[in-house]
Structure 1
Amino acid sequence: MQDILIVDDDAAVRQRLSRVTALVAPHARSATACSLAEARALLLQRRFDLALLDVGLPDGSGLDLLPWMQVYVPSVEAVVISSLGDDATVLQALRGGAVGYLLKNGSDIELQLSLASLQRGGAPIDPVIARRILALMAPAPAPQAPLATKIGAPPLQAATAELSEREMDVLQLVAQGLSNREIATSLSLSINTVECHAKNIYRKLAVRSRAAAVYSARTQGLLP
């Protein structure tokens, strides 16, 4: 990470996140914004690698910035850091393109470790939120098989049929937290090929980030 944008309307929080990011990436340059309008202006003026977004801002929700970033600055990764952690807000953030979601009530060291995982291709999710997501993904009781299946009719097409075998290989390694470069090495593929597979996975699952792809795949039963 070389350039980091911190978007929060609370000066104390901006100072705290500036301090934490300086520990994560000592050589990175950081900038701050206290509104959506100021954040958009900075994102268009400078090149950033990462944006840390609050949800509640004076001129709207930080979540509204996510789809805008996908259009105008798609190379900038976004992590939401908020005091809000309800399921609807978290899912909106992940579906909007955020690569992670952290809670402000976490300690500085917890935030530091979570943000550091980005440099290894990880998706930082607050443990409390991750636990709830895992609970949501708990398998439901299997429905009783239709009579036609019981008497020997062909089984229904597998849920994984939408993704190719190689796309499933890539998705499984994404779920393990490997970066695209590490996936390329593991599968003996070029980085460009892995990125192509990743884009196809995002398109087929209708998501915009690694975290959202893993969550969507698990809710559909494509991943354990």
Structure 2
Amino acid sequence: MKPTPALLKFFPPVLANIENKRPPLKVPFKYEHVPRFRHKADSRTRIINNMLPDEFKLSNRMLFYSIYFDHDIKLVYKDPKPIDIEQTRILDLGSNLLMLRIYHTLLTNRPETDPIELIDKVDPTEINTLKIRHDFINQFNQILDSKNLLSKISINSTLLKTIKIEKSTRHKVLPMLIGLVHCQYGYEQSKKFIDEWVIRGKWSTVESYSHRGLLEIYTDKKMDVF
């Protein structure tokens, strides 16, 4: 039963909330039952898949965990029985590993410098800000968009919108990918992934990459720190 105009006159905010409030659909449910959402999700996992080097490829299911963040999403690990792992645990693992390897990279890049002086000069947390991680992911959106490799979705009969990694979650993608790579490939391989692909990028002397790593994005902002 809808509220009458007289009731709305006296209690509009309360009754409007009672009438219109609906619980949001859970992300796993939307993926299974909403074709438009599934199209967006699959397009975004392809972006991540195009980003990753061949030796660190992840399944589409795992990539889904790196672009959508919801307390209803559970990662299933079998050892030997299925175990549910909260997404935030993997995210925290990736964040901690990233900070560890940033400290390591700073110290090994400048072995002649006293560690305390180096950390005083370059705060490692400034290399791992939300903005820098956002810019790291955004460069792949831009690269693929310039090559017309991004999917599109119709807004109306004449307008198409390019599907990219959502702005609100771009800063989470990188630590989540690190956590997932660590879980699938182990610590030694994840060190290479973080050190070379994430932190150094095209500055790597081990691999040939064409994207900007965190160090380059940071130094572009800070200029002659290194």
Question: What TM bracket, shorter-length normalisation?
Answer: under 0.3
**Which protein shows a greater Rg?**
2
Structure having the higher strand fraction is: 1
Relative contact order: is structure 1 or structure 2 higher (C-alpha 8 Å, sep ≥ 6)? Answer: 2
TM-score by length of 1: 0.28
